[in-house]
Structure 1
Amino acid sequence: MKAINHKHLFIAGSLILGALTISSCNSSEGNTAEKPAAAVVAVHPTEVFPLERGQLSTSLQVPGELTAYQSVDLYAKENSYVRKLYADIGSEVKEGQLIASLDAPELNSRLAAAASRLKSQEALYTASNALYKRLYETSKTPGTISPNDLEQAEARRDADLAQLEAAKASYKEVAIVKDYLEIRAPFPGVVTARNVSTGTYVGPNGKTALPLFTVQQQKHLRLSVSIPEAYTGFIEKQHEVKFSVKALPGRIYTAAIKRQAGALDDRLRSERVEMDVINDDKKLLPGMIAEVKIPFPGKDSTFIVPKSSVVNSPERIFVIRIEAGKAVWVDVQKGREADNKVEIFGNLQPGDQLVKTASEEIRNGSDVKNTKTVPAVKQ
């Protein structure tokens, strides 16, 4: 009886397992039938725009330096002592104004000796010239004066005249040197340095190597900037620029370009440009650093495109033109850049369809069928 029960249990389990297997198969088939088809990935069209000409206005902001329009260090030409000072640091002086007087006793002796020699030569020339004239008048009577005596008198007169001219030159030289004992301002300006005091020994052999005074013209300044090579073609004289200095926040100054170096600096590869600045209130000081903004308005009509349309690869710079559904890489050169726009130069024509967002993934010669035209770049 016990064996029979085991048999029945085995048969019943087999039937249940079979039923579960059939149910599982039916469920799997139903799921397969109901599974939706795979989604199709949408391909976005390539944005292109028609190439147009325009003018690009840019600006350049560079540091500049303010310097005195004229600046000079004044030295003593002759060994001497400072006798009196008539100006100090901050003194405003006029052209030709006496600012220091020097004393050189040896120079006074040289001047007195030169004056004595001059008077002596004047006397000798006066005597020899008078003798020659008397002999000449006498020689008009035949047989009174031999030709040799007349020639000797003439030669003596000429020699004394030469000595007189030499004495005059010597006296003038010493007198000119004495004028150097008066130190005068060469132009109107401000004394910005004084390195001596009364009694200081000065001159080529003096103990101080510093100048007596430094005078700078401050009501008229120079503003100097270095323009990078890429921008030198846009610089012109009378071109106005604006600048500011940190010492005077909120104030904007205007100056016009007056001078250009006409050559590039070997080290910086830039051109030195100078502007004149009128500084009547003397708020601007020589040596100040200025922030200079130089506008470069557009002149010639050029092709202007978004920066995103220009590809800068290690080998080349190019844009992608769409021709008959194919991508064509066109080599270009870049010009000025501003506001996400750039000038380009190359084998291009107005109306060419260029890819707005270009990359090397769009291979040269590849098919580009799905395109979308977008407005041209705003000028």
Structure 2
Amino acid sequence: MNYKNIAVAILAACLLSACSGTEKPADLTGAHQKKQTGEFSQVCEKQLSGDIRLSGNLKAYNEVNIFPRANGFVKEIYADRGSVVKKGQLLLRLEAPEMESQLQAANSRFVQAQENAAASKDKYQRLKEAAKEPGAVSPLELDNALSRMKADQAISLSEHSNVSSVRTLQGYLNIYAPFDGTIVQRNVSPGALVSPGKSTDQPMLVLQDTKKMRLEVYIPENYVDKVDLSKPVSFTFNAMPSLVQQAKISRSANALGSMRSEAIEIDVRNEKNQLKPGMYAEVKIPLLSGAKSLLVPNTAIVRSTEAQYVVLVKSGRAKLVNIKEGLISKDSTEVFGDLRPGDALVKQANDEIKEGQKLN
């Protein structure tokens, strides 16, 4: 029994000795944090490369959705999808029986107005001859005849204009090609009822001119003032990677769109019809030789759901600066923001570093 008490006393003494020891476990978390915040780099300013590579989209030089200009039924269709048509070629013929009735009614009114105008003129001429005999015709009667003649002539001209208007509407029943091109869509069949529609409605036909194409490229806002418009651009199409072409920028929008970029267009010849609207291209845009940019290490950029930023070192403390990314290389990224060449920043940044935090 005594031996058991002695063993318990020895065990308690060992535990008390361990708790009162001066050795502490190593603080690995602190060492790791120090390594993260202790590696610094600088914002570098370098001259931009001679060009930037952007994606482009090929579009038809001219494209039109063909809608009817009058209500009617499709009577005959003279072009289908894939048909190559010439300017002024008849594409569709509509029929509208009520329009023929309108034309006959307008003609009848015009003939009647012509007869009335002729009768009024004849009456005025006879009264004018009779008025040569003193007292045969009163001046008032002659003036009334003149007024009646002019009124009937005006009515006749009005009815003639009405006939021309109805004939013009009747001419809308024939649909002609506005330019040379290819029909790429056909959405109606004979017997279909069609009417003038809005741009959101489905067109009867879609016509594209693909002899010359527009290569549309969107220049990001940060490069708009750095593009060299005097030099040609080179481009290759994804469907034909071995074919490299060159051309000058034909036109630019001179305004930023909804994506904060400026649209430019490059005219591309398509004599052999190898190119199709909708093709994607890789476009090399030349930049001005004096343009420079700010570069930071790829690891210095922190990307969160709210923003992209880098951590500057100001008086030993962290300052978060929002940036926009530009071109990205293997080890550095072009950035735009409130930065200056030579600014110190955290090389291995992360979202655990807070504004104003002391950096080692």
TM-score by length of 1: 0.63
Distance of 2:153 and 2:107 partners within structure 1: 16
Question: What secondary structure does 1:164 align onto?
Answer: helix
How far off is 1:189 after superposition?
A: 0.3
Distance change >3 Å, CA 343–CA 202, structure 1 → 2: closer
Distance of 1:75 and 1:303 partners within structure 2: 51
Counterpart residue identity of residue 180, structure 2: P
Alignment of 1:175-324 (within 5 A): 175-204=167-196, 210-235=202-227, 239-265=231-257, 267-298=258-289, 300=290, 314=311
Structure 2, unpaired ranges of 5+: 1-45, 302-309, 315-325, 347-360
- Please report the RMSD computed on the Cα atoms of aligned residues, expressed in angstroms: 3.6
Question: What secondary structure does 1:132 align onto?
Answer: helix
Counterpart residue identity of residue 278, structure 1: R
1:154 aligns with 2:151: no
Question: What secondary structure does 1:198 align onto?
Answer: coil
Given that residues 238 and 258 in structure 1 are in contact (C-alpha distance below 8 angstroms), is that contact kept between their aligned partners in structure 2?
Answer: no
How far off is 1:232 after superposition?
A: 1.2
Within the candidate set 59, 66, 72, 1:67 is matched to: 59
Distance change >3 Å, CA 271–CA 240, structure 1 → 2: same
Share of identical aligned residues, percent?
Answer: 36
Question: What secondary structure does 1:150 align onto?
Answer: helix
Task: Say how many residue pairs are matched.
Answer: 278
Which has the higher Rg, Structure 1 or Structure 2? 1
Alignment of 1:343-362 (within 5 A): 359=344
Distance of 1:303 and 1:227 partners within structure 2: 17
Which has the larger displacement, 166-175 or 69-78?
Answer: 69-78
Counterpart residue identity of residue 147, structure 1: P
Counterpart residue identity of residue 115, structure 2: A
TM-score by length of 2: 0.66
4+ long deviations beyond 6 Å: 302-308, 336-344
Distance change >3 Å, CA 234–CA 132, structure 1 → 2: farther
Which residue of structure 2 lines up, in the alignment, with residue 85 of structure 1? 77
1:105 aligns with 2:97: yes
Provide Cα deviations, 1:242-272, integer angstroms capped at 9, x if missing partner: 222222221122232122111112x311111
How far off is 1:161 after superposition?
A: 1.7
Structure 1, unpaired ranges of 5+: 1-53, 318-335, 349-353, 362-379
Given that residues 57 and 338 in structure 1 are in contact (C-alpha distance below 8 angstroms), is that contact kept between their aligned partners in structure 2?
Answer: no
Which residue of structure 1 lines up, in the alignment, with residue 124 of structure 2? 132
Distance of 1:222 and 1:304 partners within structure 2: 30
How far off is 1:286 after superposition?
A: 1.0
How far off is 1:155 after superposition?
A: 1.6
